[in-house]
Homo-oligomer: A and B are copies of this chain.
Amino acid sequence: MNISFQQRLQRAWTRTGSLVCVGLDPDIKRIPAELRSGPQPILAFNRRVIDATAQVAAAYKPQFAHYAAVGAEGELAATIDYIRQKAPDAVVILDAKRGDIGSTAEMYAREAFDRYRADCVTVNPYLGGDGILPFVMRPDHGAVVLCRTSNASAGQLQDVDVAGEPLYLAVARRAAAEWNPHGNLLLVVGATYPEELRAILTAVPTIPFLVPGIGEQGGDLAGVLAGGLTADGNGLLISSSRGIIYAGGGEAGAIRAAAEELNRQINGLRAACKK
C-alpha cells in the first residue's frame, strides 16, 4: 500500500526539516560550458543540482517547458528517477500547468504520474472542477492549483471582484470545498503577494501552498512566512529556481551554498515566527 500524497508531503517536511523547493528550469544557454558540450547536458546539469541540494530540498519542481522546448522528455524522466535515488524524501512537482477536462485531463494525469512518476502536477483552474478533479482522484498523487500567481499581470483575472472578494479567494474557497476530496491539493500563491497569502490562509487554513517568486522575481520571504506558515510551522513549499541553479554560473559549490542559505534564512524566520 502506497502512502498518501498528504503523508508523503508531511514526511518530506519532517525528514528534511526544510520548506525549500528547488525549481529545475534548465536553460541550455545558461548551463555551464563543460556540461553543455557533453552528452545529455540537461540531465548532467540537473544531476549536479540534485547532488548539491539533496540534503536541503523538501521538493523538486521540474518546469515542463524547459524540457518540451528542446525535446528533452527522456532527460526529464531520467531527472525524476535521479531525484528518487538521491533525495528519496523529496516531493516531485511536475510544473506543467495543465488545464484540460475529462478524458484529456486523465491523459495528462497518466503523463505526470505514470510516465514521469511525479508526485503531483500544477493545474490551472480556469475550466473549473472538471479540470482539477482528474488530477486528485489518486490519493497517492496530488494537484497544485494556480490561485494567485507571482507575475505582473496576474491580477487581470485573479483580482476581479466577485461578490465582494477577489476571484483568487473564490478559487481558494472552491478548491477547499469541492476540489479536494482526498486532501491532496495545494495552491500556488506567489511570494510577491504576502498579504494575499495571509488572506488565503485565513480562508482555507488546511491547504498547503507552493510559493514561487523567491529569488530573481524578488518575493518577500519574511512576509511569506509570516503570512503562510501553519501552526505546526509547515504548510509551505517555497520555490526558487534560477536563484539556486544558476548561482555562481551553475557551479556545484555555489548551488549548494545558495540552497543552504535559503534554507537557513527560512528556518531562521520560521523559528522567529514560532515564538
Contacts and interface: CB of A to CB of B under 8 A. Distances in A.
Contacts of A174: 156
B160 A111 contact: no
Interface string A52-67: 0000000000010110
Copy total for this chain? 2
A256 interface: no
A151 interface: yes
Contacts of A66: 104, 107
B154 A108 contact: no
A65 B104 contact: yes
B110 A69 contact: yes
Given A100-B97, A151-B101, A162-B162, A126 B157 contact: yes
Interface in A10-35: 25, 27
Contacts of A100: 65, 97
Contact of A130 (B146, B153, B160, B161): B153
A272 to B, nearest CB: 32
B111 A65 contact: yes
Interface string A106-125: 01101100110000000011
A99 B154 CA distance: 12
A69 B108 contact: yes
Nearest to A102: B151
Contacts of A104: 25, 63, 65-66
A132 to B, nearest CB: 9
A248 interface: no
A156 B98 CA distance: 17
A181 interface: no
Interface in A62-89: 63, 65-66, 68-71, 73
Interface of A: 25, 27, 63, 65-66, 68-71, 73, 97-105, 107-108, 110-111, 114-115, 124-131, 146, 149, 151-158, 160-163, 167, 170-171, 174
